Amino acid sequence: MIDRRKERSSQRDLVALDSNHKSSYQMFGIFKKKTELEKLQSKYEALMKEAFDLSKTNRSKSDQKTFEANEIAKQIDVLNQKNNL
C-alpha cells in the first residue's frame, strides 16, 4: 500500500515538472518566428478543421477545403524532402 502511494506521488511530480517545462518553453517561444514549414502546418490544420466543420452542412465546400489542405500537404512534403537532403 505504501509503495503505491509513493508511486502515485512521484507520477504527479513528473507531470507537474513536465507541465512547468512546457509553459516556460511557450513563454519564450513568443519571440520565435515561425518557419515556412510551421506556417504551412498551421494552415493545413486550419483548413482541415474548416473542412470538418463544413462537412456537417455543405459537402461540396468541405471537399474544396480538403483539396486545398491536400495541396498544402504536398508543399509540406516537398519542404521536408529538401530539409532531409
Q: Based on the domain organization, do 38 and 79 belong to the same domain?
A: yes
pTM for this predicted structure = 0.62
Helices (H) and strands (E) in the chain, counts: 3, 0
Q: For the chain, what is the domain count?
A: 2
Rounded Cα distance between 31 and 62, Å, is: 34
Q: 52 and 28, same structural domain?
A: no
Expressed as residue numbers, the domain containing 44 is 33-85
22 and 45 co-located in one domain: no
d(CA 7, CA 75): 46
Report DSSP state, residue 28.
H
Percentage of residues of the chain with pLDDT beyond 90: 55
Helix/strand/coil for 36: helix
Alpha-carbon span 18 to 25, nearest angstrom? 11
Which percentage of the chain shows pLDDT scores above 70?
66
Q: How far apart are CA 67 and CA 59, in angstroms?
A: 12
Residues 18 and 59 in one domain: no
- Do 38 and 72 sit in the same domain of this protein? yes
For 9-47, what is each residue's pLDDT tens digit?
A: 555 554 444 444 555 555 666 778 888 999 999 999 999
